[in-house]
Structure 1
Amino acid sequence: MKSLIKISVLLVVIVTLASCKKDTAPNYQFMPNMYAPISYETFGESKAFANGIEAQLSAEGTISRGHSLFEYDNSIEGYTLAKETLKSPLDSTQVNLDNAKVLYDIYCGICHGVKGDGQGNLVKREKILGIPRYDDPARAINEGSIYHTVYYGKNAMGSYASQLNDKERWEVVSYVLKLKADLEK
């Protein structure tokens, strides 16, 4: 009797294990979304919201975190207006020139040179030509024109608005003005 119970239990276990193995279909996934997540595009349509894409759009009048509005256009008129009217919101106690030097060396020094003389490594190797000195009287740069150029870029120079936040841009502007003053001595 005991052997009959043991044999029947063993038979039930074997049948159970054999019934779980099915080569034609994959095994059961406990949490399928962990293996194949549903991806959503930023402004794509979604069934998650009743009105389609409304919940994924930014609220009107909002600004992305870390960004600010710049009211000067990316045009010659905007550059001229910035040169005439734009002033730094930072006073001399808020500018960290050591941090500004590091940022300048990373983003600007490769072309403009560490002294602002237009003799960066790319200019010396003739990869980029025509980088003027900061003390060039024909250019007459000031804080508004420098900020506008850093924000939008100019000629072959691209924009650094995405690499530098607002305070860092103004610190770089202060450092460029310091280099300009050192060159004029």
Structure 2
Amino acid sequence: MSALRFTLVFGALLLAGCRQDMEDQPRYDPLEASNQFADGTSARTPVTGTVARDADLSPTPDRIPSPVTIELLQRGQQRFDIFCSPCHGRTGDGHGMIVQRGFPAPPSYHQDALRKASDRHFYDVITNGYGAMYSYAARVPPRDRWAIVAYIRALQYSRDAPVAELPQTVSARLEEMP
């Protein structure tokens, strides 16, 4: 019995000796004022050129980097409808619900300047924002950005397809129209 008592007493003394210095140390909350530094802040400004841990440092291609498949276009349509159509409209004409509520209209994807723009242009605008449009980099992953670009190209093609490239049945119907 005395060995058990000795073990319990020794264990209790051992546990009583543990300290929680790491847990109880003084610290500052983010953006809390401090007299530690001359500017009165507790945090330091990141060094110029600092890159976020999750930043994608791979080079961005100029064209859609994967084959344009029906699955890619469907994913692009889904993402476009969620993130882009409130401003750009479901057809890309720039007349979305936000515009109907009084916000400025974005440009139509069907104007010549945007039909001639590179795929990279659309990808960069989604990533970094442009004009009144803010960045979607935190909301739309790169693969989905390229899917949206592919869908924008499909929208553009739907209004500006060369007649020579249309299926025979469609071009025949166009010729029958007054």
TM-score category of the 2 structures, normalised to the smaller one: 0.5 to 0.7
What is the root-mean-square deviation in Å for CA atoms of aligned residues? Answer: 4.0
- State the alpha-carbon separation in 2 of the partners of residues 153 and 70 from structure 1: 19
Structure showing greater radius of gyration is 1
- State the alpha-carbon separation in 1 of the partners of residues 70 and 52 from structure 2: 24
- State the alpha-carbon separation in 2 of the partners of residues 110 and 127 from structure 1: 11
2:89 paired residue among 113, 125, 148: 113
Deviation at 1:125, TM superposition (A): 2.3
Does residue 137 in structure 1 map to residue 112 in structure 2? yes
Matched-pair contact (CA < 8 Å) for 1:152–1:160: yes
Matched-pair contact (CA < 8 Å) for 1:68–1:166: no
Partner of 1:156: 132
Count of residues in Structure 1 that have an aligned counterpart in Structure 2: 129
Matched-pair contact (CA < 8 Å) for 2:63–2:120: yes
Q: 1:122 to 1:63 in 2, by over 3 A?
A: closer
Determine helix, strand or coil for the equivalent of 1:145: helix
Matched-pair contact (CA < 8 Å) for 1:151–1:161: yes
Q: How does 1:13-162 map to 2 (within 5 A)?
A: 64-65=53-54, 67-69=55-57, 86-93=62-69, 96-129=72-105, 131-139=106-114, 140-162=116-138
Matched-pair contact (CA < 8 Å) for 1:109–1:120: yes
- Greater fraction helix: 2
- State the alpha-carbon separation in 2 of the partners of residues 120 and 157 from structure 1: 14
5+ residue gaps, structure 1: 1-31, 43-60, 73-84
TM-score by length of 2: 0.57
Deviation at 1:132, TM superposition (A): 1.5
**Deviations, residues 41-100 of structure 1 (Å, cap 9, x unaligned):** 79xxxxxxxxxxxxxxxxxx98634x412657xxxxxxxxxxxx7122111249522221
5+ residue gaps, structure 2: 1-19, 31-49, 162-178
Matched-pair contact (CA < 8 Å) for 1:112–1:119: yes
TM-score by length of 1: 0.55
